[in-house]
Amino acid sequence: MPKQKDLKRLVRSRMQKTGEAYTAARLQLLRKASPAPDLAALAGMSDSAVSEKTGRTWKDWVKTLDAAGAAEMPHREIAKHVASLGTPSWWTQMVTVGYERIRGLRVKGQLRGGTYQVSRSRTFPVSVETLFDAFADARKRRRWLPVKITVRTARPHKSLRTTWEDGSLALFGFTPKGGAKSAVAVAHEKLPNPSVAEALKKAWDEHFERLARFLG
């Protein structure tokens, strides 16, 4: 890999030839100078999972978003562009976050604003309607989730956006799995530091265990 001074010279030379912004030109040069990275490992999700739900592998997503100049965009604009390509609502955020990790715009578990997030998912032997209701119905939710939360938006049997009493946000996506099975995935955001994020991972495992007992 070229030294810093040489790299800057090469970046400026590429900018003159291609018209690219500095960051985009630098990314292209670094990509050529480095071994091919494990995109799935950087994104934190397997190629098979993202391909199944969005129709694109991580390599495809990186190529598509790089072409749109996403490396220069704020998070909201990247997500808007991902959604415009027909990506399901829950997976819009997963693709956006994965791309930002791949491009070094955030570390795993960290949001662009500097706070952290954790993700957890689990499949339950009930219909997606029953699973969604266990989250959306406050009376039922209190029987397994010992935390006060406020539901901000809800798309029946698809997603929930909630605010927690500590000021954090939790986004839930619900997916039917066929037969009498369904899955829920949570992205819990606005966590102040890695220690809180790590503790919340364990907490969500416990929440899901209580939910499993509640659902029978």
Tell me, yes or no, whether 129 and 189 share the same domain: yes
Residue partners of 193: CB distance under 8 A and separation at least 6: 116
Instruction: Supply the range of the domain harboring residue 132.
Output: 116-215
Radius of gyration over every alpha carbon of the chain, rounded to an integer in angstroms: 20
Residue 200 lies in a domain: yes
In a domain, residue 96? The reply is yes
Amino acid at 171: L
**121 and 46 share one domain:** no
The reply to whether 127 falls in a domain is yes
Query: Hey, how many other C-beta atoms are within 10 angstroms of the C-beta on 14?
Result: 17
Instruction: Write the CATH number for 208.
Output: 3.30.530.20
- Position 75 in a domain: yes
CB 176, CB 182: distance < 8 Å? yes
Residue that terminates a domain, selected from 41, 71, 102: 102
CA-CA distance, 49 to 43, in Å (whole number)?
A: 12
Q: Which residues does residue 151 pair with via DSSP β-bridges, in sequence order?
A: 162
Report if residue 55 sits inside a domain: yes
Residues 97, 21: one domain?
yes
Per-residue confidence of the chain (216 residues) as pLDDT tens digits? 445 667 778 888 888 888 888 888 787 777 665 566 788 888 888 889 899 989 999 999 999 999 999 988 888 899 999 999 999 887 998 899 899 888 877 666 555 566 778 888 999 999 999 999 999 999 999 999 999 999 999 999 999 999 998 889 999 999 999 879 999 999 898 888 888 888 999 999 999 999 999 998
Looking at the structure, tell me whether residues 47 and 92 fall in a common domain: yes
Whether the pTM exceeds 0.85: the reply is no
Structure tokens at 172: 């839930």
Q: Are residues 120 and 96 in the same domain?
A: no
CA distance 166 to 67: 39
